[in-house]
Amino acid sequence: MGHLSSTDARPTVLVRGEGSRVWDQEGNEFIDALSGLFAVNVGYGRREIADAMAAQLVQMPYVSPFSFPSLPMIELSAKLAAITTTGPQSRAFLTSGGSDAVEAALKMAKALQRKRGFADRNKVIARRVSYHGTSMGALSVNGVTSIRNGFGPLVPGARHAPLPYRFRCDYCAAAAACAGTCIDEVERLIAFEGPETVAAMIMEPVQNSGGAIVSPPGYLQRMREICDHYGIVFIVDEVICGFGRVGGWFGSGEMGVQPDIITTAKGLTSGYAPLGAAIVRKEIADAFIGDEGDKFVHGVTFGGHVASCAAALANIAIIEREDLTQRSRDMGAYMQRELRLALHEHPNVGEVRGMGMFMAVELVRDRSTRGSLEGEDRLMVWLSDQLKSRGLICRADDRLEPVIQLAPPLTLPQSDADAIVAIVADVVQALGRRLGSVPRIHVVGSPAVAPQPVDVAA
Ligand SMILES: Cc1ncc(COP(=O)(O)O)c(C=O)c1O
């Protein structure tokens, strides 16, 4: 804000979007390889979503979720029950966004434990470096220290387990195969805390914070078993992973796991309107139906807003009609392959990873030692500028190690996928020159996407 308030500030104000491209107020064009913020799954410029919202607003602009059901809410809940991985006859508790959904899920898990007679079950197991939102409950379970600190005292009870982060695993990064120790650590943590004090566990199938950290095969299944064994409510946070982002409607489905509660938002409306949901397994939802004393005392005025539900229905119809979940698998696999081809020999690229249209390129000082770039002066600002000046919007992030994060619309044309790979390769090349780790002129990548050599002075 300090920078923006100076008189010569020239902020980028995005004013128009079409497909996977956006334009600022000065007419500059960008490929949006972040889908806004992991949201615009069906791409920009979808008139049918806008039309569905407009028609709803003219007919009935608001219905209180505390007082009455609304038609779009009923229809959307039925649709979510049909596609969810939480099982048949699941119910959706509709919110206004992701933090809200996490908040609802955490409160529901605690309330359920009390209903079951476990008044002392109030702890929540999350993962280190995870991000689950900014409202007090969601913030408290975040595993990002710098985001949590400064707002204490937080909601008590959050505990953090290690990440399944194979590239720099605390336990087995150097080993030929994963030793599964990070899974054992989750169980040890629960044993240490006392299972009778743990209400819920919350995890993403592919963790965004840290850069598309994919739960390895069998990991989520083990978490499911651990939760079943100890009577813990298993919340899978699909705020990003849902609605085709990692292929399939939900990441839990792609990984063959049935959560107790799914939290979701973002791609639910592809960002055309604010909306979130906690989708809840029937048996859990049923515990809150009955006498007055059974109800779930929670809600927000704009939860499940009628126009947002209309947007979600139109958005889901597009995902179905255009088979965008499969497209996410296919185009994601293509992009990852091209990124690997372009970057695999570069001394400053540690790893390319991801699932579907959710990817990250981890940057290192030296690939042979996996040396960290920690301490490199203003690297994130520099990277963001480099990417943007070449016409690419994506995210440079260092909540763990530095990564370039890519999550383009699921509709991304192959030509734009190729352009993204070429720009990322070019920026990594510039990083190599900045760090002195590549020769003056050095072209990486497959000939198909190799960027032009850039003079070191440029
Ligand atoms: C995994 C995850 N959970 C929760 C949230 C919070 O969602 P919102 O920003 O809509 O409140 C986010 C936001 O990025 C997220 O990535």
Strands 198-203 and 233-237: parallel
Q: What's the gap in Å between 240 CA and the centre of ligand 1?
A: 7
Choosing from 37, 106, 132 the residue with most ligand 1 atoms within 8 A of its CB, the one to mutate for a pocket test is 132
Q: What's the gap in Å between 183 CA and the centre of ligand 1?
A: 24
Q: Which amino acid residue places its CA nearest to atom 3 of ligand 1?
A: 132
Q: With a cut of 80, say whether residue 455 has pLDDT above it.
A: no
Instruction: Tell me the β-bridge partners of 206.
Output: 214
Q: What's the gap in Å between 386 CA and the centre of ligand 1?
A: 26
Taking the CA of residue 209 as reference, the ligand 1 atom at the shortest distance is 16
Average pLDDT over every residue of 232-260 = 98
Q: What's the gap in Å between 407 CA and the centre of ligand 1?
A: 15
d(CA 427, CA 423): 6
Determine the distance from the C-alpha atom of residue 359 to the mean position of all C-alpha atoms in its chain, rounded to a whole number. Answer: 11
Q: How far is CA 158 from CA 7, 106, 199, 202, 247, in A?
A: 44, 11, 10, 10, 30
Residue 206's pLDDT is 98
For residue 313, give every residue at least 6 positions away whose Cβ sits within 8 Å of its Cβ, in sequence order, or none: 52, 72, 75, 76, 79
pLDDT tens sequence across 8-18? 888 899 999 99
User: How many CA atoms within 13 Å lie on the side-chain side of 455?
Assistant: 2
Q: With a cut of 90, say whether residue 240 has pLDDT above it.
A: yes
Q: Looking up tokens 């599964």, which residue turns up?
A: 180
Angle at 179 between CA 174 and CA 184, to 5 degrees: 130
pLDDT tens sequence across 359-395? 999 999 999 999 999 999 999 999 999 999 999 999 9
- What ranges make up the beta strands (E) of 68-177? 91-95, 123-127, 158-161
Average pLDDT over every residue of 284-303 = 92
d(CA 401, CA 403): 6
pLDDT tens sequence across 42-86? 999 999 999 999 999 999 999 999 999 999 999 999 999 999 999
Q: With a cut of 60, say whether residue 294 has pLDDT above it.
A: yes
Residue 440's pLDDT is 53
Q: What is the widest separation between alpha-carbon atoms in the chain?
A: 74
Whole-number percent of the chain with pLDDT over 90: 90
Q: With a cut of 50, say whether residue 171 has pLDDT above it.
A: yes
Average pLDDT over every residue of 283-302 = 92
Residues 404-417, buried b or exposed e (16+ Cβ, 10 A)?
bbbbbbbbbeeebb
Instruction: Tell me the β-bridge partners of 404.
Output: 361, 396
Residue 191's pLDDT is 97
Average pLDDT over every residue of 336-345 = 96
Residue 446's pLDDT is 43
Q: Identify the CA nearest to 91 among candidates 361, 279, 307.
A: 279
Q: With a cut of 70, say whether residue 302 has pLDDT above it.
A: yes
Taking the CA of residue 265 as reference, the ligand 1 atom at the shortest distance is 10
Q: What's the gap in Å between 443 CA and the centre of ligand 1?
A: 38
Residue 5's pLDDT is 82
Determine the distance from the C-alpha atom of residue 215 to the mean position of all C-alpha atoms in its chain, rounded to a whole number. Answer: 13
Q: Which amino acid residue places its CA nearest to atom 4 of ligand 1?
A: 132
d(CA 42, CA 132): 23
What average pLDDT is seen over the chain?
94
Q: With a cut of 50, say whether residue 180 has pLDDT above it.
A: yes
How does residue 439 score in pLDDT terms, banded at 50, 70 and 90? low
Instruction: Tell me the β-bridge partners of 263.
Output: 237, 278
Determine the distance from the C-alpha atom of residue 30 to the mean position of all C-alpha atoms in its chain, rounded to a whole number. Answer: 22
Structure-token pair, residue 451: 């960027």
Q: What's the gap in Å between 392 CA and the centre of ligand 1?
A: 23
Taking the CA of residue 133 as reference, the ligand 1 atom at the shortest distance is 6
Mapped onto helix, strand or coil, the DSSP state of residue 387 is helix
Whole-number percent of the chain with pLDDT over 70: 96
Average pLDDT over every residue of 259-263 = 98
The residues lining ligand 1, judged by C-beta closer than 6 Å to any ligand atom, are 97-99, 102, 131-133, 204, 208, 237, 239-240, 265
Q: What is the DSSP string of 391-454?
A: TEE-EEE-SSS-EEEE---TT--HHHHHHHHHHHHHHHHHHHHHHT-S-SS---S-TTTPPPP-
Q: With a cut of 60, say whether residue 453 has pLDDT above it.
A: no
* Orientation angle between helical segments 181-193 and 219-230, nearest 10 degrees: 20
d(CA 270, CA 258): 24
Instruction: Tell me the β-bridge partners of 22.
Output: 17, 30
| Domains in the chain, CATH or no CATH each | 14-32+324-435 (3.90.1150.10), 47-321 (3.40.640.10)
Q: With a cut of 90, say whether residue 4 has pLDDT above it.
A: no
d(CA 259, CA 368): 39
Pairwise pLDDT comparison (458 vs 380), residue with the higher score: 380
Q: What is the pTM of this model?
A: 0.95
* Residue 61 DSSP label: -
Residue 292's pLDDT is 81
Taking the CA of residue 135 as reference, the ligand 1 atom at the shortest distance is 11
Cβ atoms 90, 280 nearer than 8 A: yes
Residue 81's pLDDT is 98
pLDDT tens sequence across 94-139? 999 999 999 999 999 999 999 999 999 999 999 999 999 999 999 9
Choosing from 100, 130, 131, 399 the residue with most ligand 1 atoms within 8 A of its CB, the one to mutate for a pocket test is 131
